[in-house]
Amino acid sequence: MILTLVGLVLCMNTARGQQTASQTQTPPAVQLPPWMLHAKLIHEIAPEYPVSARESRIQGNVLIDVLVNEKGKVQKAYGLDCPSCSPILRESAVKAVEQWEYEPTLLDGNPVSVRSWIIFRFQLEKEPSVEVLSKSEVLPPGTESPKFDGWIAASAPGNVSPGKLRISAGVMEANLIHKIDPEYPHMAKIAHIQGDVVLRCIIDNEGNIAEMRIISGHPVFAQPALDAVKQWKYKPYVLNGKPVEVETAITVRFRM
């Protein structure tokens, strides 16, 4: 299948050889945090709790990667694999999201396509229920961040401890003394996927990464970004003559 797709792309590129790059390239989708995209939701279809899942007492979280076009229509919804995810629940969530509609997202006054993700929690208590966990910056009280393949899928600034000294990304970048580049995922190379991962990080008074939370970015790049950034080292940020713990944003770029 991959070889067939590659051959098709090569044929298309040959046929378009006379066109300029600006004519053939489609602008990349804008990455939005899930709660920002959810705020634009104007038509929602709740996923059905499959009968077979109810009878088998199957419950858990589902992560959906979603691409929304310039008109606010869902262009693609894809359920991502994780160790604890049920294919039955994932299929139900995808079918529902494919029918969702959003207010168009404007960039400099022009509508653009956007990409984000949605996390559902399928739960069996007194009655079966399906909840969108990613609709706000802070998860519901008593709810742990869902983990997918070892990384936290829906974390937000609200989960970072309050009271930290917030420093701009530019200032902290100037203090960076040791940087590890992330490994580019093999499947992302094959699919020609590019993008940025934005992390909200706590840097301790010795310049080490103490905490990391994913703010936005394509899920395929999440783990490589976390693995790289946790090894970064900064010069301690000094306030009033003393090194202090700070909070900042780090953007990890994946380009081919």
Domain that holds residue 227: 159-254
In a domain, 206, yes or no: yes
pLDDT in tens, 175-215: 999 999 999 988 788 778 888 999 999 999 999 999 998 88
Q: What is the CATH number of the domain that holds 71?
A: 3.30.2420.10
CA pair distance 191, 168, nearest whole angstrom: 33
7, 76, 87, 120 alpha-carbon torsion, rounded to 10°: 150
Same structural domain, 66 and 123 = yes
Query: Domain boundary residue among 152, 173, 205?
Result: 152
Query: Domain boundary residue among 108, 127, 152?
Result: 152
Same structural domain, 102 and 39 = yes
CA pair distance 127, 114, nearest whole angstrom: 34
Same structural domain, 126 and 168 = no
Average pLDDT (131-152) is 61
Same structural domain, 76 and 119 = yes
Q: Count up the domains in the chain and report the number.
A: 2
Q: What is the band of 97 on the pLDDT scale with cuts at 50, 70, 90?
A: very high
Q: Check residues 13 and 242 and name the one with the higher pLDDT.
A: 242
Taking the model in full, what pTM does it have?
Answer: 0.53
Query: Domain boundary residue among 152, 183, 216?
Result: 152
